[in-house]
Amino acid sequence: MSAINIQNQPDRYVISIDKKAVSKEFMLDLLERLQLEQLAQKLDIDESILALGEEINANWWQQNKHRFIKE
């Protein structure tokens, strides 16, 4: 048996992972990431959110770059 086994059932995926293959902390982080991804997929957003994010990052950088780069 491999360290990771995936069973495809009609209504779900069943994933089995050998405890020796990954730490408990890794599993908790992975599950949290999966939950966040699942919630993000439920959001009804379009591509304009990416432009807004880039604008926010650019503005933040202009206001804070002096903290990281000496001019």
SS (H, E, C) 37-70: HHHHHHCCCCCHHHHHHHHHHHHHHHHHHHHCCC
Tokens 């990954």 appear where?
Answer: 22
DSSP letter for 32, please: H
Query: Does 48 have pLDDT greater than 90?
Result: no
Could you state, in order of their start, the residue ranges of all structural domains in the chain?
4-64
Do residues 2 and 21 touch, judged by C-beta distance below 8 A?
Answer: no
The pLDDT of residue 1: 62
Rounded to the nearest integer, the mean pLDDT of the chain is 92
Tokens 């650019």 appear where?
Answer: 58
